[in-house]
Amino acid sequence: MAGALEGVKILEFSEIIAAPFAGMLLSDMGADVIKVEPPGGEPWRLQAQFMPLESRTFMSLNRGKRGLALDLKTPEGKEVIYKLVPQMDVVIINYRPDTPYNLGIDYETLSKMNQRLIYVENTAFGRKGPHSYRPGYDIIAQAVTGLMAANGKTNEQGLPQAMSPAMADFSTGISICWAVCAALYAREKTGKGQKVEASLLATALAVQTGTFMDIDSVDAETQSIIRTRIKEARERGASFEEIQRIRAEARPMFGNAYYRCYFTKDGVVAIGCLSDALRRRAAAAMGIHDPRFEDPNWNPMDPESRSKGAKVVAEAEAVMRTKTTDEWVAIFDAAGVPAGPYRTIDELRSEPQVIENELIVDLEHPLVGHLRMVGPPLKFSETPSQARSASPTLGQHNDEVLAELGYDAATIAALRERGVIR
């Protein structure tokens, strides 16, 4: 059975994570994705190579694509792209902000060749504003958008640490995939292509919803106090750690006993209770007493309430160490409390829940041989997704793609000899 995007042709100018991840997901849904790389390979192919020009990072983000290694700085390289564009439905581009214009693959240039073209461009900070010209990667996006601050992790020196996996990059990849599907649907109604702009900045902010939201009637006084305290602290030369403590003091402290991980007798278990009913069930399952359930006027900002909350947490931590992880999971299951054991990736490769939901695929790579990886995340009853092939070797499909454009063997050989293709 054909995938949902069978017949859709995508030209992908990409590197690192966001756009490659999007292209891989679109390929899983049936699109014919041609990934364009410079003759030396894109940076992620060259990151921690375990054999020449092959790396785990590249292979994990580029399955199902055809590979075209092409020097876009040459007239002959541009000519290949300009012959491809009229046949394409979508272009995805994920380069530094000035690169598309320097290479002649910007929206204005390509859309003149194909008015039905959907052009999805991802930048770090968007096309407007004082930082629009700057390149950026996931760690920078996390730092400047508050994602890193929300993560709250620091190293032994007190320096903030990025989330892993790359939250801004991967969520932007999903956003690009969503944008392509929406733009294709719009084109079916209007017959017109369009430009879609994505950015790490926009996606990193979008996933923070409630954290970013500011409600005047609720937050104005608190925010004013925080800003004043931080300003005063900076004027007297306060450390980064002190300023972080000021911010933390403004956040309600509930004594987090119900949305966290616990040590058990033999491992770790996570529970997640995001309603009062679930918190009550969890307290009953653990056999702990929580005074907040008896006090309708409980105020999490009150110092006495914070102290009581801390005692509840300490009691829960002690109780959770009395049984094994399997025992606690069974207890929470019986009580209807969301819970699960802590697992590592190595364990998940043989986890029945993962296997039975067909979330692992086996592929054959031309150089590496057999590999296993996470499969398509979505299931369609009528247009199934599938991982059709492993990632391409550098320039693997050069001859195939050029032949489809009408290049004969002698011309292809001459392009290779001149270094236009690898």
Please write the tens of the pLDDT for every residue from 308-349. 888 999 999 999 999 999 999 999 999 999 999 999 999 999
Helices (H), 240-357: 240-249, 276-286, 303-320, 325-335, 345-348, 352-356
Look at the alpha carbons of 84, 87, 92, 98 in this order and tell me if their dihedral is positive or negative: positive
Amino acid at residue number 186: A
User: So what's the pLDDT on residue 253?
Assistant: 47
Given the structure tokens 């590979």, which residue do they identify? 67
Amino acid at residue number 177: C
pLDDT at 293 over 60: yes
CA distances from 67 to 27, 228, 292, 392, 411 (A): 13, 55, 60, 5, 19
Per DSSP (E only), the strands in 104-186 are: 118-123
User: So what's the pLDDT on residue 252?
Assistant: 52
User: So what's the pLDDT on residue 235?
Assistant: 87
CA distance 169 to 17: 6
pLDDT at 40 over 90: yes
Which is more confident, 222 or 56?
56
Yes or no: say if 83 and 39 are a contact pair by the CB < 8 Å rule.
Answer: no
pLDDT at 306 over 80: no
Given the structure tokens 């992790």, which residue do they identify? 153
Please name which of 164, 172, 222 lies closest in space to residue 19, comparing C-alpha atoms.
172
CB neighbour class for 339 (10 Å; exposed up to 12, middle 13-18, buried from 19): buried
Lookup: tokens for 254 = 């509930």
CB neighbour class for 350 (10 Å; exposed up to 12, middle 13-18, buried from 19): exposed
| pLDDT, tens only, 207-264 | 999 888 888 887 777 777 778 888 888 889 888 777 777 776 665 544 689 999 999 9
Side by side, which strands form the sheet with 268-272?
A: 259-263, 268-272, 339-341
Which is more confident, 291 or 23?
23
CA distance 277 to 258: 11
Amino acid at residue number 99: T
Amino acid at residue number 12: E
Task: Give the pTM.
Answer: 0.91
Yes or no: say if 68 and 46 are a contact pair by the CB < 8 Å rule.
Answer: no
Q: What percent of the chain is predicted at pLDDT more than 70?
A: 97
Please name which of 118, 120, 116 lies closest in space to residue 191, comparing C-alpha atoms.
116
Look at the alpha carbons of 407, 411, 412, 415 in this order and tell me if their dihedral is positive or negative: negative
SS3 at position 313: helix
Yes or no: say if 6 and 385 are a contact pair by the CB < 8 Å rule.
Answer: no
